[in-house]
Amino acid sequence: MRFFDRWFQDKTRSLARHTSRRSFLKKAGTVLVGAGAIPLLPVAKANTAPDDGSISGPEGDPGKCEYWRNCGMDGFLCTCCGGSHTSCPPGTEMAPMTWVGTCNNPADGRDYIIAYNDCCGKSTCNRCMCNRNEGDLPNYFPSKSNDINWCMGASNNVYHCTTTILLGLAVK
Amino acid sequence: MYPMDKYSASWRKLWLYGLFLLILAGCDAQQPADEPASSATAADAGDAYVDVSKAPLSNDIFGKVTALPETPHPHWVWIYDMAASSMPDGRAYLYDGDTGRMMGLLSTGYSFNALNIPGHYREVYSAETYYSRHTRGARTDVVSIYDPFKLTPVAEIEIPAKRVSTLPRLADSALTDDDRFMAVFNLTPAASLSIVDVEHRRFAGEVITPGCAMAYAAGDRRFFALCSDGALLLIHLTDEGTQASVQRSEPFFNALEDPILETGVRHGDTWYFMSVLGEVHPVEISADGPVFADTWSYLDEQDKAENWRIGGMQPVTLHSARQRLYMVMHQGDFFTYELPGTEIWVYDLETRARVEKITTRQPSLSIAVSQDDNPLLYAITEDLSALDIYDAGSGEHLRSIGELGVTPFLVQPLPLL
């Protein structure tokens, strides 16, 4: 199957689950972050990471587009590319800047801030394409656009795949 | 023991192999002369039949390369392909919309976006990124200038190595109305425009556009950008291509509540931007600056009740002479505005009335219409595999072009020349 077939399938599935604009405005405030900007986010420290193992089905599987942290994802899942959902594949570099989403963890019902840091420096991974437009805005709003290649912040802007870094609890 | 013996044996083998090839070549060269004599009895002898009444084919001339006729037609159409599965390998395909024939291709580097096509069509421009070692090494950004008939590069202008990398948008670069200056959108994430004097083949300077993105043409020495607070930034250039002044408007849309799509269409001095919730925003770039006319809705109450929504990567196009506005439509909720549509709705720009609904052969992601008197409506299909071509007047499906590219997102017909 061509990857963009999967891309649109994933979009459609996502939209079937998530259709409320109002809920976006309430929950999915997304902001541009660099390492230095993280303290400005509405984030509180979580004592322990939520346990994905207790989540049944694809929402608990980092290799699936339906994985709960992927709510703002647009890219190839690094889990499928030799890395993991929190680490880049060998030989790539994690971009320090990205956009973030607020995703609800079905294990504990809490909202968490997730940063979608790209991994850069090798050609496109081209595996496990995942595009969920929850919270996405046009490119004149870069901090809320998932159509932008965030490898711009790395030493090399060649895009490879995307991670989902948990930054902390979202503060309401 | 090793070196010399092995060395000599290798050379012996090579010499014998070369001799064998020469004998083969000699046989092959003699064949045409032998054919008539032997062919008279070929059938009797059980060999392949040879018609001796016909002269043998003449040899082809080696090394010919096709050049396109220098008679560009408004039904020629460019397809822009970022090759998302292998982004260093961007390409622009040229097709003939009347025959469906592929005419040629430009290789356009990493994270390719789109060409900029001047009205004279003696050359075309492409903002491109290259790494010295394919995906690593030194980065160089350039505006490449191509001969649109030989499809070869004729010049390049180096620009700051910070052009934006996005899923393709036509508005990531633009030409002034007199085709002299090109603006290339940069995002580092600081936003700016690189201004290139394509006529004199030089980088003219950089204009900072804080909080504003992309580039839209607005006269001979003006571009504008759209801002995240809903404002418009109008940039005035000097004749040298440097910044003369900038005007920042009051916000004319709400990016959070009802964002406009990046794909704008232009009729004269007025640009039209469609919002997600169904409003048309006319923006006239007058001599004194932007003038925002009243918005109007392209959705009636029933459309809204049925969740009809504009969507796609390039979901709107305009036939300027006929004032016909085409939009890709689907049913979905707020964040579906990048999804393809099953219908193309046609509006009369003057009366604002919807005059037709075209049901597409396949869901469509990106559309464009040629600007001639017998216009073609092009639609890239949702799986990016084909270009569906319709009669833009009747909506009749005429033909489709398959194997369109790798991930061809954008389509752009030639302008009227």
User: How do residues A17-36 score in pLDDT, each as one tens digit?
Assistant: 333 333 333 333 333 333 33
Identify whether the C-beta of residue B201 lies closer than 8 Å to the C-beta of residue B125. Answer: no
Mean pLDDT along residues B50-54: 92
Percent of chain B with pLDDT over 90: 87
* A48 vs A57: CA distance, rounded Å: 22
Q: Is A18 on the interface with B (CB under 8 A)?
A: yes
Q: Is B166 on the interface with A (CB under 8 A)?
A: yes
pTM: 0.85
Question: B125 is written with which tokens?
Answer: 């421009």
Question: B49 is written with which tokens?
Answer: 């039949």
Q: Tell me: pLDDT of A97 over 60.
A: yes
Beta-bridge partners for B399: B389
Radius of gyration of chain A (CA): 15
With contacts defined as CB-CB under 8 Å, which chain A residues touch B164? Answer: 139, 148, 152
pLDDT at position A143? 80
Of B165, B169, B336, the CB nearest to A157: B165
Half-sphere exposure of B39 (CA within 13 A, CB side): 15
Cβ within 8 Å of residue B135, ≥6 positions away: A121, A122, A123, A156, A158, B88, B110
Residue A142, helix vs strand vs coil? helix
Q: Tell me: pLDDT of A154 over 70.
A: yes
| Residue A150 annotated in active site | no
Q: Tell me: pLDDT of B300 over 60.
A: yes
With contacts defined as CB-CB under 8 Å, which chain B residues touch A137? Answer: 255-256, 259
**B136 contacts A121? CB cut-off 8 A:** yes
What's the fold here for domain A3-170? Electron Transport Ethylamine Dehydrogenase (2.60.30)
| Residue A99 annotated in active site | yes
* Helix (H) or strand (E) segment spanning residue B38: helix B2-39
Of B139, B213, B256, the CB nearest to A140: B213
**B85 contacts A140? CB cut-off 8 A:** no
Mean pLDDT along residues A131-154: 90
Q: Is A111 on the interface with B (CB under 8 A)?
A: no
Mean pLDDT along residues A44-70: 83
pLDDT at position B15? 56
Domain boundaries, chain A: 3-170
Query: Is residue B327 exposed (0-12), middle (13-18) or buried (19+ Cβ within 10 Å)?
Result: buried
pLDDT at position B417? 87
pLDDT at position B48? 79
**B136 contacts A133? CB cut-off 8 A:** no
The CATH superfamily assigned to B257-417 is YVTN repeat-like/Quinoprotein amine dehydrogenase (2.130.10.10)
> C-alpha distances in angstroms, A148 versus A137, B91, B96?
11, 19, 32
* B184 vs B315: CA distance, rounded Å: 22
Residues in chain A, overall count: 172
* B266 vs B100: CA distance, rounded Å: 27
pLDDT tens across B100-118, in order?
999 999 999 999 999 999 9
End-to-end CA distance of chain B: 74
Chain A contacts in chain B segment 249-308 (CB below 8 A): 255-256, 259-262
Q: What is the largest CA-CA distance in chain A?
A: 42
Question: B354 is written with which tokens?
Answer: 């919807």
Query: DSSP letters of B255-312?
Result: TTTSPBPS--EEETTEEEEEBTTSEEEEEEEETTEEEEPPPEES--HHHHHTTEEE-S
* B402 vs A121: CA distance, rounded Å: 33
ipTM over 0.90: no
With contacts defined as CB-CB under 8 Å, which chain B residues touch A157? Answer: 111, 129, 139, 165
pLDDT at position A23? 36
